[in-house]
Chains A and B, each alone.
Chain A
Amino acid sequence: NAGVTQTPKFRILKIGQSMTLQCAQDMNHNYMYWYRQDPGMGLKLIYYSVGAGITDKGEVPNGYNVSRSTTEDFPLRLELAAPSQTSVYFCASSFSTGQGNYGYTFGSGTRLTVV
Chain B
Amino acid sequence: GQQVMQIPQYQHVQEGEDFTTYCNSSTTLSNIQWYKQRPGGHPVFLIQLVKSGEVKKQKRLTFQFGEAKKNSSLHITATQTTDVGTYFCAGPRSSNTGKLIFGQGTTLQVKP
User: Which of A58, A103, A106 makes the CB contact (< 8 A) with B48?
Assistant: A103
Main secondary structure of the interface of B (DSSP, over half): strand
Instruction: Indicate if B97 sits at the interface (CB-CB under 8 A).
Output: yes
Instruction: Indicate if B98 sits at the interface (CB-CB under 8 A).
Output: yes
**Cα separation A42 to B107 with both chains bound (whole Å):** 11
**Cα separation A98 to B92 with both chains bound (whole Å):** 12
Instruction: Indicate if A62 sits at the interface (CB-CB under 8 A).
Output: no
Which of A20-28, A43-51, A65-73, A78-86 is the interface stretch?
A43-51
Q: Name 11 extra pairs, CB < 8 A, besides A31-B98, A94-B98, A101-B92.
A: A42-B88, A42-B103, A43-B102, A50-B98, A100-B30, A101-B97, A101-B98, A102-B48, A104-B90, A106-B43, A107-B42
User: Which B residues lie at the A interface, using CB under 8 A?
Assistant: 30-31, 33, 35, 41-45, 48, 50, 88, 90, 92, 97-100, 102-105, 107
Would you give 26 A-B contacts (Cβ < 8 Å), ordered by A? A33-B99, A40-B107, A42-B88, A42-B102, A42-B103, A42-B105, A43-B88, A48-B98, A50-B98, A58-B99, A90-B42, A92-B43, A94-B98, A98-B97, A99-B97, A100-B30, A100-B50, A101-B31, A101-B92, A101-B98, A102-B48, A103-B35, A104-B35, A104-B43, A106-B44, A108-B42
